[in-house]
Amino acid sequence: MKKCVKIVFTIAALAAMALTTYQTPFAAATEEIRLLVLGDSLTAGFGLAPTQAFPARLQEALVQRGYKVRVINAGVSGDTTAGGLARLDWVLADKPQAAIVELGANDGLRGLDAGAMRANLSAILKRLEKEQVKVLLAGMKAPPNYGTAYTREYEQAYSALAKEHNVIFYPFFLDGVAAQRELNLSDGVHPNAKGVDIIVANILPYVEKLLAGVKG
């Protein structure tokens, strides 16, 4: 009788262990990922309804693909890399596990020092690394009116930083949208709703790679 009880107990224990082993990865996979979008007017959704802004459309696309994610819109119109760095403590209060850094467009438009821009972005990436936040760095193109030397230093800063900090790099945030009249607002600078959808579609594979790093 004791032997039968022992066998039954052992089987029950093994079953419980198997159930726990099966459930744990599932629970981890369904945890919500908080994805921060630290940027300027291009991500804030200048001239658009909140539901048309990049963070909202990105979240919708990710949810449709089965991700449990909350995309946090930390875009501020007119912000520079210095501004993004200055408010980093505040935006990190949401405890994101991943971040898209889209800053530098206003530095370029104002012709601000490219070396200072690089230093600001580097400080942002270092802080995110310290907080164990996985990062996707989105690059930008400089306006042509400041000369080839400035353009080269400005644009190379992004790829160099991505390599230096070992983060995922998306070379041009406005790829496929910049200078396309039908995809931008009347100012010719900010994407309209159609433009945002193209940005989301283009960057989505990079964002999925970012989220895979968080899950892993």
State CA 63 to chain mean position distance: 15
| DSSP β-bridge partners for residue 101 | 38, 137
What is the pTM for the complete model shown?
0.85
CA distance 84 to 129: 16
Q: Residue 90 pLDDT more than 70?
A: yes
CA distance 174 to 172: 6
Radius of gyration over every alpha carbon of the chain, rounded to an integer in angstroms: 22
Q: Residue 183 pLDDT more than 50?
A: yes
* pLDDT tier, 215 (very low <50, low <70, confident <90, very high otherwise): low
Per-residue pLDDT, 129: 98
What is the average per-residue pLDDT within 111-135? 98
* pLDDT tier, 30 (very low <50, low <70, confident <90, very high otherwise): low
State CA 92 to chain mean position distance: 13
Choosing from 40, 79, 190, 197, the catalytic residue is 190
Task: Please report, rounded to a whole number, the percentage of residues in the chain having pLDDT higher than 70.
Answer: 85
Report the 10 Å Cβ neighbour count for 129. 14
Q: Is 41 a catalytic residue?
A: yes
Coil vs helix vs strand at 69: strand
* Statement to judge: residues 100 and 24 lie in one domain: no
* Statement to judge: residues 1 and 38 lie in one domain: no
* Statement to judge: residues 72 and 103 lie in one domain: yes
Q: What is the CATH number of the domain that holds 62?
A: 3.40.50.1110
Coil vs helix vs strand at 29: helix
Choosing from 40, 41, 107, 197, the catalytic residue is 41
* Statement to judge: residues 8 and 81 lie in one domain: no
* Statement to judge: residues 16 and 85 lie in one domain: no
Per-residue pLDDT, 2: 45
* Statement to judge: residues 105 and 144 lie in one domain: yes
* Statement to judge: residues 122 and 38 lie in one domain: yes
Residues 113, 147: contact at Cβ < 8 Å?
no
Per-residue pLDDT, 21: 36
* Statement to judge: residues 18 and 72 lie in one domain: no
Closest CA to 70 of 36, 40, 22, 19: 36
Q: Which residue has the tokens 């306006």?
A: 143
* Statement to judge: residues 55 and 90 lie in one domain: yes
Residue 195 lies in domain: 31-215
CA distance 201 to 134: 21
* pLDDT tier, 158 (very low <50, low <70, confident <90, very high otherwise): very high
Per-residue pLDDT, 161: 98
CA distance 108 to 104: 6
Q: Is 190 a catalytic residue?
A: yes
Per-residue pLDDT, 31: 84
* Statement to judge: residues 44 and 147 lie in one domain: yes
Domains: count for the chain: 2
Residues 137, 171: contact at Cβ < 8 Å?
no
* Statement to judge: residues 88 and 63 lie in one domain: yes
* Statement to judge: residues 11 and 81 lie in one domain: no
Q: List, for residues 35-75, the tens digit of each pLDDT value.
A: 999 999 999 999 999 999 999 999 999 999 999 999 999 99
Q: Residue 78 pLDDT more than 50?
A: yes
Structure tokens at 74: 């930390």
Q: Is 79 a catalytic residue?
A: no
